[in-house]
Chains A and B, each alone.
Chain A
Amino acid sequence: MRIYVILLTFLLLVTVFIAPGWAEVTAVKAGRILTISGEPITDGVILIEDGKIADIGTGIEIPENATVIDAGKSVVMPGFVDASAVQPVRGDLNEQSSEITPTLRISDALDPQSKVIKRVVQTGVTTLFISPGRQNVISGLGVVVKPTGNIPQQMIIKDEAALTVVMDMDPTQGNRIPRREPAVNFYYRRPGTRMAIIWMLRKSFFDAQQQADTEPISDPNLAILSEVLKDEIPIHVNARRAIVIRAALKVADEYGLKLIFQECTEGYRVAEQLAERKIPVVLGPFYYYPGSIGQYREGRQVNWNNAGILAEVGVKVALGSGGQPDTIDILTAATFAVRHGMDRDEALKAITITPAEILGVAERVGSLEKGKDADIVVLSGDPLDVTTRVEKVILNGKTVYQ
Chain B
Amino acid sequence: MLKGVSLIYLQGIEMKSIKRIAILASLFLLFISVGTLSGQEIAIKAGTILPINDAPIENGTILIKDGKIAALGQNIAVDSDIRVIDANGKFVMPGMIDVQSRLFVIDSELNESRTIAPELSILDGLDPYIEESPEVAAQGVTAIYITPGSRSLIGGSGAVLKLNGSKDVGEMLLKDNIAVKAAIGVSANNESSSLGRLGDYSSIREALLETKIYMHNKEKYEREVAKYDKKMAEYEKKKETKPAEKIDKPKRPARFRLDPTHEVLAKVLSKEIPLQIEAHRVTDILNALRLADEFDFKLILDKCTEGYMIAEEIARSKAPVILGPVSTSFNDMPRLEYRNHDVRNAAILSEKGVKLALGVSGKDGASSKFVALAAAIAVGNGMDKGMALRAVTLTPAEILGVADRIGSLQVGKDADVVILSGHPLDTLSRIEMVLIEGKTVFERKDQQ
Whether chain A touches chain B in the assembled complex (some CB pair under 8 Å): no
